[in-house]
Structure formats: C-alpha cells, structure tokens
Chains A and B, each alone.
Chain A
C-alpha cells in the first residue's frame, strides 16, 4: 500500500501579515513563523496509523511551495513519513488551488499511490479545493470531511464517515485508489519520536522543479485585495485592565445578565 499525504505550510498567525498597498498584495512580515497546516497533521497521523495497521505500507509527504516549505516536509519525516517530496516554486508567487492540484497530480502520477490524504482545508484561506480537484485530475474517487476510515481486509475499498452540519455523519465506501480530505479530530496527532527526528535531519528530500511540470492555463485571476466588508460594529472597551473589567461588569449588570 502506497500512501501520499499532501502537506501545506501555513503561517502560524495572521497577525504577522502585511498589506503591501503599492503592489496590492498581502505579504509575510519579518516575524512570520511557518508551520504545517493543522488539518494536514491529522491527515499525516491517519496515514501513519494505516501503515501501522498494515505493517508494510509506505507514506510519502509532498508539499508545493518555495524553499521554506522544505521545513514542513522535514517535519512530516520527523513524525514518521518515509519519504519527502518537494515540488519547488521559485518565489512567493501565489498559486491557486487549481495550480497546486495540477502540480501535485503531475508529481504523483506513475508512483502508484493507493490512497492520497489531504486536509479538509488550509487554515489560511479555507478554499477546500485541493483534495477534490486532485482527485478529479487523477481520476480517483474522493470524500471530504472524513472523520473515520476503515480499509477493507482485501485493501480494495475503504469505508469512511464524512462529518456534516450539526455533527451528523454520512457513511460511504469508496473503491481504491481514492483521495480523502481529512477533518480535524479524526485522531490525536503524535509527537515525533527521537529516532525519527535524527533520521529526518539527514534525510534527502526529493526535489522537483514546479516549472518542469505541465499545468493548464489558470482558471481565474485576482482583480484586487479588499478590506473586510463589515467593519467593527460593536464597541471596544478602553482603559486599564481593571477599568475594562469594571466597565464590562457594569454593562452586564445593566442588562441584568449578571446578578448584583
């Protein structure tokens, strides 16, 4: 069984973003810290658990992006992935979900993956597209919002539960190969084992130039970046911390929300 996990590197906190007005772009400020998209941590953990259950599976971790994303691939190796693949772009140019799905498909074709795991969405922009688009490009089946999976004994199909509104679950089974977009809470991601950390330090990442892969012309273009539609509607309570506390207590008592 060969499993591919798509891992995206995201910034840790949106507080470090800077809006470059002249260029009309959002850029990363100097204090930006990057890490693995949390949904991808769950996807990777699920892949590692499948490998442990089967005994003889291989887990590859792949990320598309500039050189900085190498660190996130290495993190996947520290957690236990067997092999890291870096589809390298030159700079911080923004790739759409369409581009990224085509790049991942081109890089993974011919490698015989039985199962591809992605996160249900990237925390930064929540497009939720890369997993299902990748499935469509590869001609694989796909389920999103996966909160439970169980491979059949013969390894030909996989039973999954998709989490939907209100926490209900839709139960499906899919033929392999397929793509699953994983929802958080499916498992509890592990901490890296020391032996894996040491191995990851010296492991070679397989590097593929994004420009060497064929991607169809873009489907969309960015017209402009705008501020949020709705400004702050309420009131920000000002003063020292103690004054803020007193003001809030006063407001809550006035609305008889807090007993006097």
Chain B
C-alpha cells in the first residue's frame, strides 16, 4: 500500500508524548519510510514544537496553527484536521497514539473525511492492520475499504525511533484560520490519588476482580505481610467497586510501578493495567483461567483459585520458618 502517511504528534505542556517516537517505527513497519509529522498548536508555540519534531525525527513537519488550539479539545483537533484532509485525493494513512486524546478525536476525524478508523492497532500486515480481540485471546487482521484510514496505535507496541541520523526535516507552518469552538477547554487538574508508598515498594501484591468480594482484600493483605517492603496494588475494577481506594490503582490512568516483585492475584491482564506494571522485575500471576492475558507477561504463573491458594501459600510459608 503506497500513498501518503501522516503522524499526529500529541503534546502536553510543551512536551511530546513518548508514543510519538513509537509511531515513527509503526509508519516504517507499514512501509512508509518518510512519514510526515503533524503537530497542532497555537501560534505562540507552533514553531518550537514543529522544529523539535523535525530535529528529532529528521522528517518533514506540518504545523497547523490557530488560537483555538491553545488548549486541547476533540472539536479543536477535528475542525482543524478535517479541512486539511477532506479534499486530499489518493491513499492517505493517518496515525495517532491510542491514548486518551488519540481515541477522543480519531473516530470523529475519520467520520469527517470519509475514512476508515481502526483503533488499538498493535501490528501491520501487507496493507492491513492487526488489533487484539476478545481480551487479547485472538487478533484480527483488518483491511481498510476506504482510500483514507485513521489508526490509533497501542502505546508500547513499537519501539521508539527518535534518533534522526541525518539533517532535520523541512518545517511548514499552516494557519488553520479563525475557528470558533462550541467546546471550551478549562485546563487540567492534577491526579487526586498519587500513592508514593506504591512507587517505593519492593514488592507489590495486587488485587483484581478475581478476589470476588471486598472482604477478600484480607487475603492480599495477609499475603503482602509476608514481605518486608511491600504495598497493596489494585486494578481499576477493584477501586471502582470500592474494595480499595483509588490511590492503590495501577495502570494507564493510575500509578506506574516497577517493583522487584509484582504478585498479580485475580487480574486478567488488560492492556491498561499492563501499562502500569509491565516493567516489574518479576511478575507472578495467580488466576483460575489458564488463557488469561496476564500469563503472557508473567514470569511465573499459577493456575489456581486464589481464595484457597493464598491461604495455603501463606500457611506453608509461615510453617517453614
């Protein structure tokens, strides 16, 4: 599949998200040696952002500028990108990261330019895109039936590529015109639930929905008390149900941790959870389902019911002492 390939580089507070450099690798995997980098911002910041992209990637950059792009909103992105791509002819692929912003604007962008939209892509085939299905048990190879395709790429699926061997690429700044939005962005609020104890712990015993009830939190507490510098972690599902508060949440919208040992109890291994713990030194998982995705990242897996296995483990550990 030939044609033009664009990468939309997302940024916050003057810094590009790390996934930006992964998208360069993704483009090359798709056979596009020289994708065009795109960045959207207000007039004051656009030059610097665009030049940084050109230096770091060595690729040509299009900067779209307008005062409506001072803060982020899906509407601001779509109303800028749709006119840019709508009338372009030929095959066009547009990639953004599958982050909270990427999935916020990508589907709407696709609808505005009569493109196909494929989200959470983790690999590419011959003119096709590959994504997980059914909790990561299968993958689907999907072909776009439109000339234009918008894809969001799963963070971490590709290694970053931000070391440009040659000269910086060319920078073109395009004014997006006066656009008045019906969405008003009112800034960002810091997370309410950071947990320093988690980032310092050497061992994290983490609870998933497989615990079955809030009462069973005592099982992971008991297990964690075997380890000196330990802390309790949890999936979002556990926090949503109020079994532990959100300061324990690990994952893309919670804490990111890398303890020496991560003990995952009753956790399925959703990508959003893995994003927060996959760099742990050793991962041990206890789960009743032998096909759970967590076993694909675990160094040691135990297929058992945690309600009987954890008490047994604690018991045998104490007896040996």
Contacts and interface: CB of A to CB of B under 8 A. Distances in A.
Interface of A: 13-15, 17, 19, 26, 97-98, 123-129, 132-133, 135-137, 141-145, 159, 161-175, 183-185, 188, 217-237, 241-242, 244-246, 248-249, 251-252, 255, 257-260
A234 B301 contact: yes
A124 B135 contact: yes
B123 interface: yes
B72 A235 contact: no
A127 B236 CA distance: 19
B182 A141 contact: yes
Interface of B: 72-75, 78, 99-101, 103-108, 110-112, 115-120, 122-123, 125, 128, 130, 132-146, 182-194, 202-203, 226-228, 236-237, 239-240, 242, 246, 249, 252-254, 256, 260-261, 271, 282-284, 289-291, 293, 295-304, 308-309, 312-313, 316-317, 320-321
Contacts of B116: 98, 219-220
5 contacts: A136-B107, A172-B73, A217-B145, A222-B140, A226-B141
Contacts, number: 260
A167 B249 CA distance: 10
A136 B110 CA distance: 9
Contacts of B112: 136
Contact of A164 (B74, B100, B184, B298): B100
Nearest to B310: A245
Contacts of A257: 202-203, 227, 260-261, 282
A24 to B, nearest CB: 11
Nearest to A166: B191
B111 A244 contact: no
A165 B156 CA distance: 14
Nearest to B152: A128
B22 to A, nearest CB: 14
B182 A175 contact: yes
Given A136-B108, A144-B100, A164-B188, 18 more contacts: A125-B134, A132-B108, A133-B107, A143-B104, A167-B191, A167-B194, A167-B246, A170-B72, A219-B116, A220-B118, A227-B139, A228-B136, A229-B130, A234-B297, A235-B301, A241-B312, A248-B302, A257-B227
B23 to A, nearest CB: 16
Contacts of B271: 126
B159 to A, nearest CB: 15
Contact of A169 (B106, B108, B188): B188
A23 to B, nearest CB: 13
Contacts of A218: 145
B48 to A, nearest CB: 22
Given A162-B104, A221-B145, A234-B301, A184 B240 contact: yes
Given A161-B189, A259-B228, A224 B302 contact: no
Contacts of B290: 236
A143 B183 CA distance: 9
A74 to B, nearest CB: 24
Majority DSSP secondary structure for residues of B touching A: mixed
Give chain A's interface secondary structure class. mixed
A249 B318 CA distance: 10
Nearest to A260: B321
A202 B246 CA distance: 40
A228 B137 contact: yes
Contact of A167 (B75, B146, B237, B254): B254
A67 to B, nearest CB: 22
Contact of B139 (A169, A219, A228): A228
B186 A172 contact: yes
Given A167-B193, A173-B183, A221 B143 contact: yes
Contacts of A245: 309, 312-313, 316-317
A248 B141 contact: no
A137 B111 CA distance: 7
A167 B143 CA distance: 34
Nearest to B298: A234
A194 B197 CA distance: 44
Contact of A132 (B107, B135, B191, B242): B107
A143 B74 contact: yes
A132 B74 contact: yes
Contact of A223 (B72, B141, B186, B256): B141
Contacts of A170: 72, 100, 185, 187-188
Contacts of A15: 289, 291
Contact of B188 (A144, A171, A188): A171
Contacts of A232: 295-296, 301
Contact of B304 (A167, A225, A244, A249): A244
Contacts of B133: 26, 124-125, 225
B321 to A, nearest CB: 8
A40 to B, nearest CB: 14
Contact of A163 (B253, B313, B317): B253
B117 A133 contact: yes
B141 to A, nearest CB: 4
B103 A188 contact: no
A147 B184 CA distance: 17
